[in-house]
Structure 1
Amino acid sequence: MYIGIDLGTSSLKAVLVNEGKIIRTESNTYEPDIPKPTWSEQDPEVWYHAMVDVLTRLVKGYEKDIESIGISGQMHGLVILDENDQVIRKAMLWNDQRTFGEVDFLNSIVTKEKLLKETGNIAVTGLTLPKLLWLKENETQNFNRINKIMLPKDYLVYKLTGKFVSEMSDLSGSLFYDLKKHSYSKDLLTIAHINEDQLPTILKSYEVAGTILNNIKETIGFIKDVKVIAGGGDQAMAAVGANVIKNGDLNISLGTSGVVLAVTDEPKIDYQTYLHAFSHVNDKYILMGVTLSAAGALGWWKKNFYQDMSYDDIFNDIIHAPIEDTVYFLPYLSGERNPINDPFAKATFVGMSLNHKKMHLSRALIEGVTFSLKSCYDRIKDLEIDIKRIRVTGGGSKNEIWCQMIADIFNAEVEIPDNPESGAFGAAITAMIGLNVYKSFDEACEKLIPTHKKYTPNKDNVELYHKKYINYLELYPALKEYFQII
């Protein structure tokens, strides 16, 4: 049997897989700490204790059957240890926004061009390198104590095995990793005042990181010497769990943020709108656009306007509001990443009149999120990537109305994989490949991840949505200057 762990921002989930099927799922929840506005932190020990608790419950009755563990993890977070392997401070997370000054320095002085050439990305507040620069400037004493620099999932690997390692898919989101050379960028390490001795050994996602330590083995109850596989960043692992691994595959992930992720054979660098370029787990690459508020926007809407109602009630309202309606929503509740890259952008309803009701605004909200995802998709196609298949994952993929809307707005067939826990299952697949149960990701994913459902575009809706999408694209340029002053 094999285990996949998914270390998230608000929970740690794990699945137990036997003969390719999930037979048990366990989870533990926690919350990020917000010590100041725009800050987001977590104590790595919270992750560790959550993992031990989850694994202990997960393997009960199967202690003698576990062969290996794969780990998926939230990306970009900064974990730092001192010479005694003690955590120096809480981890700064992917959604921590405090590094505006460091981002400006990197993009203007180091230059976007150099960053793109070496890493495939410009600096944004979520990435790891700006956090190191902030730490050096604002917590010098902590910075000077750094002996090891880790990403979140790699801390769990270290606690399980004692091995200081990482892998390409996660490191490629750090902004100090050379995407084409698959090594650390010496120039960017110099800028950060760190050296390679402080950084983990680079593995491939499916390589064995190490064997579980005896004290952990006894605590959890494992009988065998369980192997721990290097794993991957959450987006890459979720793509594996959705069978999005071949050139031309595209995944639309409807989580708190929305992600449009395309797989390519070679790295594609976006020098105009700065879509993210990362390594994938199978020696391929990822081009990725991010809408910061996707299901998160829906959650905000429910919390404030449908407090005592369900998400189904929201979508029942949506189907009673006509597509032809003229209300639009810009989903910039947390600023926006791609394709506009504007942290000052604000969420906005446009086009309301006395005739409009809550159902019209609900439709506008889901349409606005989907239009934002479509703009990332269009940019991917502008870079001459031939999309052959689209899959939709995440919590939003369970809603048929939203999935049909995506098919109509994208004017493309979309597939829903038969896999509710794509990140953890992707990690479990990696654990199996690491022990040669399957020879490749292609073989494993084709055998283990069937398609649950397909949605085809409604031709009448396609035309209506296209007209609205053209209008939607005009709104941000018209409002941009006002977002700077409100």
Structure 2
Amino acid sequence: MAEVRGIGLSGQMHGAVLLNEQDRPLRPAILWNDGRSMREAEDLGKDYPELSESAGVIPMPGFTAPKLLWVARHEPQVFSAVRKILLPKDYVRLRMTGECVTDMSDAAGTWWLDEASRSWSDRALAVTGLDRSQMPHLVEGTQPSGVLRSDLAREWGMRGDVVIAGGAGDAAAGAIGLGAIDEVSAFISLGTSGQLFVTTRTFRPAPETLLHAFCHALPERWFQMAAMLNGASCLSWAAGLLKAEIKPLLDQAEERYQKPSNLIFLPYLAGERTPHNDPYARGVFFGLTPETCQSELVQAVLEGVAFSFADAKQCLEQAGTRLTSIGLIGGGSRSSFWAQILANVLDLPLVRYEGADKGPAFGAARLARLASTGEQPEAVCTQPQRLQTIHPHTHLVDLYAPRLEAFRSLYHALRPEFKKAYRSVN
């Protein structure tokens, strides 16, 4: 610990940690997957459509700005007491350094950042009843954001000048860990949620596609991202439902895998962002029969998540971004079977990397190194060792094409029913 020179931070994006004058939280944090502010997001999009271009995406319930409008409407006493608004990882930074700071990639997910100029948007803040004084200071992910407090340095056995890097939101940190820093470097992050991430050297918003065009954790870089609320968490949910461990379930499903499942699984357990922006959507198994077995349920879950990534790929193509291969990171990347299903559905080679299941943490460590040494990103943010390249199986690509269309048709048929069901119980 005495040799540590820098610490990097990464964490879930879009959250709202609301602080008073004494830097104490005013209420429990509101997290990325909280959909209560759907009305506020719709109002922002309808009243201020021009802001979606500068913010890189239309307002969605998960973003921080609609959350604050919800607080203003439902908890006005809390809203009036807000001195600072931090993202979750930046509250950790505050406790470590005493500084209220965020990085560009995490700030990008608030809907308050002007992505092109990499600065807070006074207009976006004003329409949510806020101003710059309530925002953290902005730094690049590679820049120092402060120094570890002396009492913590002593407690942890560290030197007195440990730099805390700006860090990154989890998606951008994963890109840094994977070395995805050049134009059209692409990867899938298959964690609790899911992202299809493509690095760009220019800011290329396409809000009409429901893609996110955000600042990267490196200066003068941005990214396009399709963000899905439901990733590997769907498999964890299924394992809990079946009261079984994940690995044996995957092994059983892989053993019987020959073709697409007869079932269709809509993976929208927590609503969905890209490509639907539908907080009312929910999970569905379609096609159950008395012969349906446990392994078929698991395969359908894996395919349903893969189909949602196919929707994400389609959004990128509509925005003019073409992919030739994709990296794979996150906890779901540990399964070569799931990677094969993804390759078959997407009709693209997938590359698995050493340590890819811990990509965002590795990215945060790289940002700590850059902040403490001043090295060039290209020297540090290289690709990890390739473990495996998984190519699609042509005959399965052909079989999955009609199943993907059925998946899309099923969602569109049920979309009005999702909203009716929500209204009937709320």
The reply to whether TM is greater than 0.5 is: yes
Helix, strand or coil at the partner of 1:169: helix
Corresponding residue number in structure 2 for 1:438: 375
Residues 81 and 147 in structure 1, CA contact (< 8 A), matched pair in contact too: yes
Distance (whole Å) between structure 2 residues aligned to residue 443 and residue 140 of structure 1:
49
- Counterpart position of 2:424: none
Please tell me whether the aligned partners of residues 17 and 87 of structure 2 are also in contact (alpha carbons under 8 angstroms). Answer: yes
Equivalent residue of 2:8, what SS? strand
Are residue 374 (structure 1) and residue 374 (structure 2) matched? no
The answer to whether structure 1 residue 104 and structure 2 residue 42 are counterparts is yes
The counterpart of 2:394, out of the listed 440, 459, 468, is 459
Choose from 323, 329, 335 the match for 1:399. 335
Q: Relative to structure 1, is the Cα distance of residues 451 and 438 closer, same or farther in structure 2, using a 3 angstrom cutoff?
A: farther
Conservation of the 8 A alpha-carbon contact between 2:26 and 2:78: yes
* SS in structure 2 of the partner of residue 96 of structure 1: coil
Native 8 Å contact 1:257 1:292 kept in 2: yes
Q: Is the CA contact 2:249–2:295 (under 8 Å) kept in the aligned structure 1? A: no
Report the equivalent of 2:30: 92
Q: 2:409 aligns to what?
A: 474
**What is the distance in 2 between the residues matched to 1:482 and 1:343?**
13
User: Is the CA contact 1:97–1:126 (under 8 Å) kept in the aligned structure 2?
Assistant: yes
Equivalence for 2:150:
214
Cα deviation for residue 403 of structure 1 reads 0.8
Matched, 1:181 2:139: no
Letter in 1 for 2:408: L
Task: Tell me how far 1:388 sits from its aligned partner.
Answer: 4.4
Letter in 2 for 1:192: T
What are the within-5 Å matches in structure 2 for residues 124-143 of structure 1?
Answer: 124-143=60-79
- Report the 3-state secondary structure (helix = DSSP H, G, I; strand = E; otherwise coil) of the residue aligned with 2:322: coil
1:256 offset after TM fit, Å?
1.4
Q: Is the 8 A contact 1:79 1:151 kept in 2?
A: yes
Give the whole-Å Cα distance in 2 for the aligned partners of 1:216 and 1:402. 42
Give the direction of change, closer, same or farther, for the CA distance of 1:144–1:481 in structure 2 (3 Å limit). closer
- Percent identity between the aligned chains? 31
**Match in the other structure for 1:313:** 249
Structure 2 Cα separation of the partners of residues 319 and 481 of structure 1: 38
1:44-90, CA deviations, whole angstroms, 9 ceiling, x for partnerless residues?
A: xxxxxxxxxxxxxxxxxxx3211111111111111222222222222
Q: Deviations over 1:317-373 (max 9, x none)?
A: 344144154321111112211111212222222233344323222222211110111
The answer to whether 1:350 aligns with 2:350 is: no
Whether the aligned pair in 2 keeps the contact of 1:273 and 1:340 (CA below 8 Å) is: no
Instruction: Tell me how far apart the structure 1 counterparts of residues 74 and 365 of structure 2 sit (CA, whole Å).
Output: 39
- Give 1:178's aligned amino acid: D
Question: Equivalent residues in 2 for 1:211-250 (5 A)?
Answer: 211-250=147-186
Counterpart secondary structure, 2:85: strand
Instruction: Write the distance in 1 (CA, Å) between the matches of 2:12 and 2:260.
Output: 39
Q: Measure how far apart 1:314 and its partner are.
A: 3.5
Higher helix proportion: 2
**Counterpart contact for 1:248–1:389, Cα < 8 Å:** no
SS in 2 for 1:266: coil
Task: Name the CA shift for 1:343/1:248 in 2 (closer, same or farther; >3 Å).
Answer: same
- Residue of structure 2 aligned with 1:485, choices 411, 415, 420: 420
State which of 207, 219, 231 in structure 2 corresponds to 1:294: 231
Q: 8 Å contact 2:324–2:349 — kept in the other structure?
A: no
Q: Deviations over 1:77-125 (max 9, x none)?
A: 1122222222222221112222122112212222xx3231220111111
Q: Structure 2: which amino acid aligns with 1:474?
A: S
The amino acid that maps onto 1:182 is R
Would you say the 8 A contact 2:35–2:279 is kept in 1? no
The answer for unaligned runs of 5 or more in structure 2 is 422-426
- Compared with structure 1, are the counterparts of its residues 157 and 322 closer, same or farther at alpha carbon in structure 2 (3 Å cutoff)? same
Return the alpha-carbon distance in structure 2 between the equivalents of residues 302 and 478 of structure 1. 28
Segment drifting more, 404-413 vs 308-317: 308-317
Read off the aligned partner of 1:439 and give its amino acid letter. Answer: Q
Give me the CA root mean square deviation: 1.8
Of 7, 21, 24, 1:83 maps to 21
Given that residues 249 and 388 in structure 1 are in contact (C-alpha distance below 8 angstroms), is that contact kept between their aligned partners in structure 2? no
Aligned residue pair count: 419
Equivalent residue for 1:69? 7
- Which stretch shows the higher mean deviation, 197-206 or 141-150? 141-150
